[in-house]
């Protein structure tokens, strides 16, 4: 983009021209040759994003910790070797708590902002972790996990909202995609903590109490530091607090430059989109059924989280020890090492792959991911079947299954780890974003309940044959992505509305011209 065009775009914004046809983000971006990490305000802003992202880290810690505990003889002996629905209840303990939190979270996000729910949920998580570590019986352990689930959901829902609504415009896509990748950071910590504490002694309950207590560490950091972040400028504008929103944008996006064209551009674009959305619709859940665009959004925010949980990854996340048992890897230290190695591997590739969301696009990543998962799952199923027929005597077949698990995780992380939270947050308008994310969580919760009870029972009953179900599910997912997932890359958080709302995105008089302008610029 030439300097002449940049100066013209900046002048148009300063003159107060508010028609979308006159706007172009590239025209008003500061012409600073220094990379973002050498600009103090952007470096501090991006580092601050770690605080809300720790909600994802806590989730990852929980899944990996429960995997590790199930491989511990100390934990198994203490709680009477739970199996079937009894084991499923522990896996679903956090889900029960999340169900109780579902009606509360969107109200908190819409009426108190994005930061307070993170603070409240994290405080409850700390309490739950303490009770979990102090559990004296099965019932107390289950109750503590319900508290963890309740607080966890309250902290999780506003976290990606704050990231996507506060991030610098050109960093938003990648940073939001990184959010769910930090799930693996928590998983790595839990995997190797449980591996280390396993060797504390065959009857030492601290071998599982220490990992349980450490689950409260990341939430404690959020309690201490979340109020060092500013409130979401989009939430502030939604509440009519324009001056506060402008101060946030000036400080964190413009480095203190009060006359920044970028700030003027963002203020006008966000305000116009929110006002138009509020004029054309309300803010209740019923709005998702009133227009074709909102019905499409509703379909996606139900399907995307379901895909995140029902693509076979639930087996690895919570019941890896059952998979390893089924292929003859029954040694607790061996299982713990495999779990720890898988988490380190997944974290590395997920961070790398999330960096390509703007280059490859969301839809393409979803497609490659689902096709790759289905192919690796088919091979995984075949190798497991042959391995069982040969009474687990052929170690190469077991190694082949483990290889397929790693390859499956590669494709899962490509499309169903980082991109989903980014995709859901950007397809929702600001005034419906909190409720939309709540619907996303409800969809995920329903699938997690299924996973929690069906997976351990089915794995014990039919072993590898259960994998065929997931092969079929993945085939359906490929079809859904191909026909119903639109591409959203290259647009601001507000401009994505054009894909779903067409001429009504910014009002009847502007949107057609805006779309034409975007096409010419592309």
Quick check: 3 pLDDT over 70? no
> Mean per-residue pLDDT for 246-271?
94
Question: Out of 76-90, 282-296, 406-420, 499-513, which region has the weakest mean confidence (pLDDT)?
Answer: 499-513
> Mean per-residue pLDDT for 92-113?
91
> Mean per-residue pLDDT for 417-422?
91
* 327 — pLDDT class (breaks 50, 70, 90): confident
Question: pLDDT digits over 49-64, tens only?
Answer: 999 999 999 998 987 8
Of 167, 197, 196, give the one whose Cα is nearest residue 179: 167
Pick one of 3.30.70.360, 1.20.1250.20, 3.90.550.10, 3.40.50.11540 as the CATH number of 20-229+281-490: 1.20.1250.20
pLDDT for 308: 93
Quick check: 515 pLDDT over 80? no
Quick check: 363 pLDDT over 50? yes
Quick check: 121 pLDDT over 90? yes
Quick check: 113 pLDDT over 90? yes
Domain residue ranges in the chain: 20-229+281-490, 233-280
Mean pLDDT score of the chain:
86
Contact (Cβ atoms closer than 8 angstroms) between residue 211 and residue 195: no
Quick check: 2 pLDDT over 70? no
- The b/e string for 379-407 (b: 16+ C-beta within 10 A; e otherwise) is ebbbbbbebbeeeeeeeebbebbbebbeb
Contact (Cβ atoms closer than 8 angstroms) between residue 515 and residue 498: yes
Question: pLDDT digits over 311-325, tens only?
Answer: 988 777 656 777 777
Q: Exposed/middle/buried for 139, CB within 10 Å: 0-12, 13-18, 19+?
A: exposed
Question: pLDDT digits over 5-47, tens only?
Answer: 345 444 544 544 444 445 577 788 888 778 999 999 999 999 9
Quick check: 449 pLDDT over 70? yes
Taking each helix axis as running N to C, give the angle between helix 93-101 and helix 84-91, from 0 to 180 degrees, rounded to the nearest 10: 50
pLDDT for 6: 47
> Mean per-residue pLDDT for 480-495?
91
* 507 — pLDDT class (breaks 50, 70, 90): low
Most confident segment among 118-122, 343-347, 469-473: 118-122
Q: Which strand (E) or helix (H) includes residue 115?
A: helix 115-133
Encoded tokens for 86? 């009894």
């Amino acid at each position: 983009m030439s300097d002449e065009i940049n100066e013209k775009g900046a002048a148009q914004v300063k003159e107060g021209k508010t028609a979308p046809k006159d706007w172009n983000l590239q025209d008003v971006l500061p012409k600073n040759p220094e990379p973002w990490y050498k600009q103090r305000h952007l470096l501090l802003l991006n580092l601050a994003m770690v605080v809300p992202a720790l909600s994802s880290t806590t989730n990852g810690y929980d899944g990996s910790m429960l995997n590790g505990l199930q491989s511990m003889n100390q934990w198994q002996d203490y709680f009477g070797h739970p199996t079937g629905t009894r084991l499923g209840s522990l896996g679903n303990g956090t889900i029960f708590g999340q169900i109780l939190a579902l009606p509360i979270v969107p109200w908190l996000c819409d009426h108190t902002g994005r930061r307070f729910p993170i603070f409240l949920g994290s405080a409850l998580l700390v309490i739950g972790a303490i009770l979990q570590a102090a559990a004296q019986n099965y019932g107390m352990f289950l109750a503590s996990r319900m508290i963890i689930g309740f607080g966890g959901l309250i902290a999780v829902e506003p976290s990606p909202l704050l990231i996507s609504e506060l991030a610098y415009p050109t960093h938003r896509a990648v940073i939001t995609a990184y959010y769910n990748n930090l799930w693996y950071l928590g998983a790595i910590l839990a995997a190797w903590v449980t591996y280390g504490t396993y060797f504390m002694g065959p009857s030492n309950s601290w071998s599982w109490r220490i990992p349980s207590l450490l689950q409260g560490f990341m939430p404690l950091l959020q309690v201490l530091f979340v109020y060092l972040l500013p409130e979401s400028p989009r939430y502030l504008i939604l509440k009519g607090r324009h001056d506060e929103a402008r101060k946030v944008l000036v400080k964190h996006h413009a480095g203190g430059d009060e006359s920044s064209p970028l700030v003027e551009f963002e203020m006008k674009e966000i305000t116009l989109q929110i006002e138009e959305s509020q004029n054309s619709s309300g803010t209740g859940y019923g709005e998702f059924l009133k227009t074709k665009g909102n019905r499409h959004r509703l379909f996606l925010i139900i399907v995307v989280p379901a895909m995140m949980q029902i693509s076979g990854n639930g087996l690895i996340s919570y019941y890896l020890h059952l998979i390893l048992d089924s292929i003859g890897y029954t040694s607790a230290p061996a299982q713990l090492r495999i779990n720890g190695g898988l988490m380190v591997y997944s974290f590395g590739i997920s961070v790398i792959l999330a960096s390509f969301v703007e280059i490859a696009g969301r839809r393409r990543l979803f497609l490659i991911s689902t096709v790759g998962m289905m192919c690796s799952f088919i091979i995984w199923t075949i190798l497991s079947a042959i391995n069982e027929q040969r009474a687990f005597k052929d170690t190469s077949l077991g190694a082949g299954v483990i290889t397929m698990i790693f390859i499956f995780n590669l494709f899962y992380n490509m499309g169903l780890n980082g991109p989903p939270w980014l995709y859901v947050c950007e397809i929702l308008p600001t005034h419906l974003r909190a409720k939309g994310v709540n619907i996303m969580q409800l969809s995920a919760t329903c699938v997690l309940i299924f996973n929690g009870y069906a997976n351990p029972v089915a794995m014990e009953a039919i072993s590898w044959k259960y994998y065929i179900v997931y092969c079929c599910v993945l085939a359906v997912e490929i079809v859904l992505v191909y026909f119903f997932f639109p591409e959203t890359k290259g647009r601001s958080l507000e401009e994505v509305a054009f894909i779903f709302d067409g001429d009504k995105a910014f009002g009847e008089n502007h949107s057609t011209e805006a779309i034409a302008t975007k096409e010419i610029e592309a």
